Amino acid sequence: MSTDLFGIPIQVILGQLLLGLLNGGFYALLSLGLAVIFGLLGVVNFAHGAFYMLGAYATWMLLDFFGLNYWAALVLSPLLVGLLGVILERLFLKHLYKVNPLYGLLLTFGLALIAEGVLREMFGASGQTYPVPELLQGALDVGFMILPIYRVFVIVMCLSVCFITWFLIEKTTLGSTLRAATENASLVQAFGINVPKIVMLTYGAGVGLAAFAGVLSAPIIQVSPLMGSSLVIVVFAVVVIGGMGSILGAILSGLTLGVIEGFTKVIYPEASNIVVFVIMAIVLCWRPSGFFGKE
Amino acid sequence: MRSKQNIFYLLMLVLGLLAPWLGVYPVYLMTLYCYAIFACAFNLMLGFSGMLSFGHAAYFGFSSYVTAWLMSQQGWSTTGAILAGMLSACALGLVIGFIAIRRSGIYFAMITMALSQLVYFVCLQAPFTGGENGLQGVPRGGLGNWVSFQNDLTLYYFVFAVLVLVFLFIQRVVHSPFGQVLKAIRENETRASSLGYFADTHKLLVFVLSATLSGLAGSLKSIVLGFATLSDVLQSTSGEVILMTMLGGAGTFFGPMLGAGIIVTLQDMLSDRVGSWVTVIIGTIFVLCVMVFRRGIVGEVLHHFEKQHGVDDGSKNN
Kindly indicate the confidence band of residue B311, based on its pLDDT and cuts at 50, 70 and 90: low
Chain B residues in contact with A105 by the CB 8 A cut-off are 52, 54, 106, 109
Residue A273 three-state SS: coil
Closest chain B CA to residue A281: B99
pLDDT digits (tens, 9 = 90+) for B146-161: 888 888 888 999 999 9
Q: Quote the pLDDT of residue B316.
A: 45
Closest chain B CA to residue A92: B291
Cα–Cα dist A23/B265, whole Å:
40
Assign 3-state DSSP to chain B and report helix, strand, coil percentages, each to 5. 75, 0, 20
CB contact A123 to B (< 8 Å): no
Lowest mean pLDDT among A1-5, A142-146, B234-238, B305-309: A1-5
Classify domain B24-309 by CATH number: 1.10.3470
Q: Quote the pLDDT of residue A268.
A: 86
* Residue with the larger pLDDT of the pair A171 and B316: A171
Q: What is the mean pLDDT of each run of 10 residues along chain A (295 residues)?
A: 66 85 94 89 91 95 91 94 96 89 92 93 86 84 82 93 92 89 86 89 94 94 89 91 82 93 87 90 84 66
Q: Quote the pLDDT of residue B169.
A: 95
Q: Per-residue DSSP letters for A89-136?
A: HHHTGGGGTTS-THHHHHHHHHHHHHHHHHHHHHH-SS-B--PPPGGG
Residue B135 three-state SS: strand
Q: Quote the pLDDT of residue B315.
A: 46
CB contact A107 to B (< 8 Å): yes
Q: Quote the pLDDT of residue A207.
A: 96
Instruction: Return mean pLDDT, chain B.
Output: 89
> B76: part of which helix (H) or strand (E)?
none
Kindly indicate the confidence band of residue B310, based on its pLDDT and cuts at 50, 70 and 90: low
For chain B, the domains span: 24-309
Per DSSP, chain B holds a count of helices (H) and strands (E) of: 13, 2
Closest-CA distance, A77 to chain B, in angstroms, reads 23
CB contact A113 to B (< 8 Å): yes
Choosing among B42, B96, B270, B290, which should be mutated to test the A contact, i.e. which has the most A CBs within 10 A?
Answer: B290
Contact B210, B42 (CB under 8 A): yes
- pTM surpassing 0.80? yes
Closest-CA distance, B118 to chain A, in angstroms, reads 6
Q: Quote the pLDDT of residue A5.
A: 65
Chain A residues in contact with B246 by the CB 8 A cut-off are 106
CB contact B204 to A (< 8 Å): no
**Does pLDDT of B304 surpass 90?**
no
Q: Which of B214, B203, B218 is nearest to B101 (CA)?
A: B203
Q: Quote the pLDDT of residue A181.
A: 87
Tell me how many residue pairs between chain A and chain B have CB atoms under 8 A apart.
127
Q: Which of A85, A34, A97, A17 is nearest to A259 (CA)?
A: A17
Cα–Cα dist B298/B318, whole Å:
10
Cα–Cα dist B172/B159, whole Å:
20
Choosing among A48, A93, A98, A102, which should be mutated to test the B contact, i.e. which has the most B CBs within 10 A?
Answer: A102
Residue B233 three-state SS: coil
Residue B206 three-state SS: helix
Chain A residues in contact with B109 by the CB 8 A cut-off are 44, 102, 105
Alpha helices in B55-151 (DSSP H): 57-72, 78-100, 105-125
Cα–Cα dist A32/A50, whole Å:
16
Chain A residues in contact with B291 by the CB 8 A cut-off are 92, 95, 107
Contact A102 B278 (CB under 8 A): no
Percent of chain B with pLDDT over 90: 55
Q: Which of A110, A236, A285 sits opposite B290 (nearest CB)?
A: A110
> B303: part of which helix (H) or strand (E)?
helix B296-309
Q: Which of A100, A119, A151 is nearest to A47 (CA)?
A: A119
pLDDT digits (tens, 9 = 90+) for B154-188: 899 999 999 999 999 999 999 999 999 998 988 88
| Mean pLDDT score, B3-30 | 87
Residues in chain B, how many? 318
Q: Which of B100, B106, B239 sits opposite A44 (nearest CB)?
A: B106
- Please tell me the class of the A4-286 domain: mainly alpha
For chain A, the domains span: 4-286
Chain A residues in contact with B113 by the CB 8 A cut-off are 233, 236
Q: How many CB atoms lie within 10 A of CB B188?
A: 11
Q: Quote the pLDDT of residue B68.
A: 94
pLDDT digits (tens, 9 = 90+) for B47-67: 998 899 999 999 999 999 999
CA B128: distance to chain centroid?
A: 25
Going by C-beta distance under 8 Å and a sequence separation of 6 or more, which residues neighbour residue A143?
Answer: none
Cα–Cα dist B206/A251, whole Å:
36
| Mean pLDDT score, B236-253 | 92
Alpha helices in A127-218 (DSSP H): 149-171, 173-183, 185-190, 195-217
* Residue with the larger pLDDT of the pair B44 and B16: B44
Closest-CA distance, A124 to chain B, in angstroms, reads 9
